[in-house]
Amino acid sequence: LAGVADYGMLNIKIMRDFSDPGQIEMESMRAISRTVTGIFTLSNGVAIQFPCFVMRLPIIGNDNGLGTADAVLKIAGKVTAA
């Protein structure tokens, strides 16, 4: 919609692991469709945070023999350094 800010999306490739605490949390947030604070640490050690919700978290990895999956988070507000 005109005048509504679009903060973008974060696409991440993950090794689908149902015992991983982060993926368990992502699945619970996807299931309840709630906006939460996402915190990611970049390769340079800087942590960023932003409001987001899980748009896509495949149940299984892609059919590429590696078990990877493409997860998508919708950024719902300003990105800041934590």
pLDDT at 68: 82
Return the half-sphere exposure (C-beta side, CA atoms, 13 A cut-off) of residue 37: 7
pLDDT above 80 (res 43): yes
pLDDT in tens, 52-74: 999 998 877 666 556 788 899 99
Task: Write down the pLDDT at residue 60.
Answer: 73
Q: Is the pTM of this model over 0.85?
A: no
Residues 6 or more apart in contact with residue 80 via CB below 8 angstroms = 48, 49, 50
pLDDT of residue 72: 94
The secondary structure of 24-46 as a DSSP string is HHHHHHHHHT--EEEEEE-TTS-
How large is the average pLDDT for residues 32-36? 88
Residue 29 phi/psi, 5-degree rounding, is -70, -40
Q: Which of 37, 52, 50, 47 is nearest to 81 (CA)?
A: 47
Considering the chain, what is the average pLDDT of its residues? Answer: 87
Element (H or E) spanning 49, and its range? Answer: strand 47-56
